[in-house]
Structure 1
Amino acid sequence: MKIAFLTPEFPHPKMGPAGGIGTSILNLSKGLIGLGHEVSVLVYGQKEDGFFVEDGISFYSIKNVKLKGFSRLLTQNKIQKLINKLVKESKIEILEAADWTGITSNIKPKCPVVIRLNGSDTYFCHLDNRPVKFWNKFHEKRALQNANGLLSVSQYTAAVTKELFSLERDFTIIPNSIDINKFSESVANVEENTILYFGTLIRKKGLLELPLIFNEVYKQNNAAKLILIGRDSSDIISANVSTWTMMQSLFDGNALKNVNYIGSVAYDKIREHISSASVCVFPTFAEALPVSWIEAMALKKAIVASDIGWATEVIDDGVNGFLVHPKNHKMYADKVLELLENKELRNQFGTEARKKVEQKFSIEVVAKQSLAFYQEELNKHK
């Protein structure tokens, strides 16, 4: 089968910064290629048009058309022409696109289109209690209505999206995946009393709650250290240019001395930092199905994560991690402290977490599920 992904991001040096959507596509692409299928990745919003092949993936970078008032439509037309050219040349049989801002709303490829929910702008604005831009919601809904097939990485995201867009159609649930071979054996000694957060420093991921949680941890264990890895970001609500700056003012003075913000780390280096941590924390308010959680679970890390929505589709509370609401700072801190103090429990959670990743979130498992779905859509299209 010849599968193409249309995306605004991909974790490759030639493509600029990428987040969860790009990482998810990378992992799925590896799984599909491993099963003997062909993958093309079309990345729009790039500095220039280009084509190259690497690791078995055919990459097409697409420069957006700039013309005030018509940029989106002209860029969509450009993407449509490229897709249809590749279909005609028998290089694409089916196209998968992300739901973010509904890029396929005005694109009519000569092949089936599948949209996989990783969280639309409408979805995240809803979780953040922020107003969504009218045109973003319009295009996202239109793209979903026009798609041949609909996937979602979590049941929660599917249910919320259906309600927000008043959709009658159903979604097939296929989660995000990771390369469990890459996130397997520990590559570093565990540093006791270390708490790791990795991901973007942003309000929606609970980074303004994390200082208050760590203050509670530090009160009872002043040997505890908090390590932060990820790019800093501006804050939409306050218009502050740095979430990290906002965070620093929330730490107690002595607790802040035990905080180490490392900044961004290359994707292939993150494993070392996860391996050396005692506990990983993810106090987020807005996700679809977070790859970071799965990566930490694959490395047998004990996790304390948010208990919101999608969380129970990843972690079984008390079995392979703890789930606590990010606003409940004291309870969240108590769970972190329990894991810091109980190595046996950390190991138990880690072992169970790895089992779940192997069974549900490996690229082989998810690639096979995705292929079965693609085949169904191709059969309908014939």
Structure 2
Amino acid sequence: MKIGFITSEYPHPKVSHAAGIGTSIKNLAIALVEKGIKVIVFVYHQEEDTVVFDEGVTIHLIAKKRYKLLTWYHYRKQLNWYISNVVKEEGIDLLEAPDWTGITAFMHFKVPIVIRFHGSDAYFCKLDKRKQKFKNFLFEKLALKNASAYIAPTTFAGIETQKIFSLNKKKIKTIHYGLELKKFENETPAIYNRNTILYIGTIIRKKGVLELAKIFNKVVEQNIDAQLILIGNDAPDLKTGTLSTYALVESLFSNKAKKNVSYLGKVPYSEVKNHIKNAHVCVFPSFAETLGMVTIESMALQKPVVNTSIGWAQELIDDGENGYLVLPSDIDLYAQRILTLLNDEALCISIGKAARRKVETTFDIEVLADKNLDYYRSLLK
């Protein structure tokens, strides 16, 4: 079998951007290659047209282009033409694409196309209680309508997306994102930088970063040694029009808390694991995710995680057993969960071990790759 993935991101030095979507695709792509499957990844909106090879995966970088009129349409048709040629030349059996922006709207292929719910603009607008542009909804709706089937990383994401776009429930299969567990080993979980709280993710309102500032203010009031490290790209704030969401976050820190905050900006993916290992507690107070790769990575590295209590996170963490689930707007309770962990080393070790077990039983890419393959094969019959 030969599988093609269409994406705007992928972890590779020549690719301009990579985050959770790209990481989840790469984890699956490598696992499929190890099972004898030919994998070709098409990464659009890049700086140049070129082909690179990485860990057995063939990666086609497709340059972004602008047209005098209707760039959104003509670029999609250009992608359609390019990908269709490679599909024919390589004998690709099936394509997979993300739901975000409805990139495959106006595209037609001679092989089945599966859309994975990494999170559409409509999905995030609903969770974030924002109005979506009608054009964005139309593109996503059209792309989904033209797909043969769908994969949801959590049941929650599947149900919400199905309701938003009135999709056929029978065409939706829940298959979690997975990790290559041997690459996420922590042989010294008891060694870390005490009182260090780590956040990894885009600095954007929907990720709960404004609430995190208020939470950290509460933490510092009771633990003057607490340190907060934030890693991730800064983003404009759509609600206020501010160019930097981090500027808003920074304005919320108390004078005492501000001295104990380090914002590192974007950090190479190869360095992220060390930051997680060095952390005492990892926090992800998001209001909008489909699953959250960095949560799974932190759990695999035996870190106690305080996550959100919203839908998708309930499929990752069993509250009080292998992490904590708290609504980010409950500032006092969220801060208290962090303080409980900072003050109890034995509890951190215990929850960290339980978190690792959860990942081993639920998010092992070796098992999940087989589930993806079985689903792909069912669509080719």
* TM-score higher than 0.5: yes
In structure 2, the partner of 1:184 is 185
Partner of 1:218: 220
Structure 1 unaligned spans of 5+: none
- Measured after TM superposition, the shift of residue 205 of structure 1 is 0.4
In structure 1, distance between residues paired with 2:334 and 2:59: 43
The answer for the alignment partner of 1:304 in structure 2 is 306
- CA drift of 1:187 comes to 6.7
Partner SS state of residue 337, structure 2: helix
Q: Distance in 2 between matches of 1:275 and 1:40?
A: 32
Q: Which residue of 2 aligns with 1:279?
A: 281
Q: Does 1:137 align with 2:132?
A: no
Alignment partner of 1:8 is 2:37: no
Matched with 2:255 is 253
Task: Name the SS for the 2:104 alignment partner.
Answer: helix
Report matched runs for 1:1-382 at 5 Å. 1-170=1-170, 171-186=172-187, 189-379=191-381
- Contact (CA 8 Å) 2:11, 2:22: kept in 1 or not? yes
The residue identity in structure 2 corresponding to 1:8 is: S
CA contact (8 A) 2:175 2:372 kept: yes
TM-score normalised by the chain length of structure 2: 0.96
Aligned residues of 2:180 and 2:364 also touching (Cα < 8 A): yes
Contact 1:30/1:363 (8 A) holds in 2: no
Amino acid paired to 2:307: A
Normalised to the residue count of structure 1, the TM-score between the two structures is 0.96
Counterpart CA distance in 1 for 2:71 and 2:352 is: 48
Q: Quick one: which amino acid aligns to residue 166 of structure 1? A: S
Runs of 4+ in 1 over 4 A off after TM superposition: none
Deviation at 1:316, TM superposition (A): 0.7
Aligned-residue offset at 1:86: 2.1
1:65·1:72 contact (CA, 8 Å) conserved in 2? Answer: no
Displacement of 1:64 in angstroms is 3.4
Tell me how far apart the structure 2 counterparts of residues 343 and 231 of structure 1 sit (CA, whole Å). Answer: 31
Shift of 1:65: 3.7
**Higher mean displacement: 107-116 or 11-20:** 11-20
Pairwise CA distance, 1:378: 1.2
State the 1:255 CA deviation.
Answer: 1.3
Shift of 1:351: 0.8
Alpha-carbon displacement from aligned partner over 1:154-173 (angstroms, at most 9, x marks no partner):
11111111111122333100
Separation in structure 2 between the aligned mates of residue 229 and residue 88 of structure 1, nearest angstrom: 41
Contact 1:64-1:71 at 8 Å conserved across structures: no
* In structure 2, C-alpha distance between the alignment counterparts of 1:245 and 1:186, rounded to whole Å: 37
Alignment partner of 2:169: what SS? coil
Per-residue displacement from partner, 1:25-44 (whole Å, max 9, x unpaired)? 11111111111111100011
CA distance in 1, matches of 2:328, 2:202: 16
Shift of 1:16: 0.3
The code of the aligned residue for 1:308 comes to I
Displacement of 1:322 in angstroms is 0.5
